[in-house]
Structure formats: C-alpha cells, structure tokens
C-alpha cells in the first residue's frame, strides 16, 4: 500500500485516468476545459469559485492549482481567504440545516 495518499507529482498524472477508460476521460477533460473558459463569468471569477469549492471538497490538488491561479490572477490574500470562508459557511450551514431533520425525527419518535 502507498505510504502517502496524496503526492504532489500525482497531479501531473491526472491525464492518465484515460488509460483505463478513455472515452469517458476524454469527455470529462473536454467538458472541464469548456467549463473554465470565459463565458457569462470570467476565467478569473471561475478561479475564485474553484478555490472555494476545492476547500469544501478538500481536494489538495485543486487547492494547489487554484491557489496558484488566484495569486497569478491578482486576487489578494484577503480575497482568497474570504472565498474559503464563503465555502466553509455554506458547508457549516448545510450541516446545521440538516439538524432540522434531526429535530423532525426526534419529534416524530419521542413522546
């Protein structure tokens, strides 16, 4: 078994996922590329969204990649941290919002 689950150099191997299933990988990479192109949102705006989401899904590869992109594109340190807080708040909020379900169930099964 591997000693470390995450290795920075593995990011460069991402493209090789096509070795096991090429048609799906090709579709994914083409779609991914399209998503990040300038559209109704600028590439720069998409980078900041990606940074926040990368934290929420806790992907170290994406955190590295989109931190670099955000710095390159001129986001300040404060802007990047605020974006992460937005992601964290949504995640925290989602956890707490589920507590309504907990309360509902509690009411349902309790005297």
Long-range contacts of 82-86 (CB under 8 A, 24+ apart): 83/48, 83/49, 83/51, 83/52, 84/51, 84/52, 84/55, 86/52
**Closest approach of other proteins to the CB of residue 99, in Å:** 39
**Closest approach of other proteins to the CB of residue 55, in Å:** 19
For the segment 50-89, give every residue that binds other proteins (CB under 8 A).
Answer: 68, 71-74, 76-77
**Closest approach of other proteins to the CB of residue 16, in Å:** 14
Number of residues near other proteins (by CB under 8 A): 8
**Closest approach of other proteins to the CB of residue 73, in Å:** 5
For the segment 1-40, give every residue that binds other proteins (CB under 8 A).
Answer: none
Report the residue number, 16 or 104, with the smaller CB distance to other proteins.
16
SS3 sequence of 9-68: HHHHHHHHHHHCCHHHHHHHHHHHHHHCCCCCCCHHHHHHHHHHHHHHCCCHHHHHHHHH
Contacts to other proteins by CB under 8 A: 44, 68, 71-74, 76-77
């Amino acid at each position: 078994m591997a000693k470390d689950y995450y290795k920075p150099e593995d990011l460069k191997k991402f493209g090789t996922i096509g070795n096991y299933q090429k048609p799906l990988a090709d579709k994914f990479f083409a779609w991914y590329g399209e998503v990040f192109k300038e559209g109704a949102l600028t590439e720069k705006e998409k980078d900041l969204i990606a940074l926040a989401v990368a934290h929420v899904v806790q992907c170290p590869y994406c955190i590295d990649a989109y931190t670099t992109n955000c710095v390159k594109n001129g986001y300040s340190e404060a802007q990047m941290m605020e974006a992460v807080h937005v992601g964290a708040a949504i995640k925290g909020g989602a956890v707490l919002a589920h507590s309504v379900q907990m309360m509902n169930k509690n009411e349902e099964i309790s005297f």
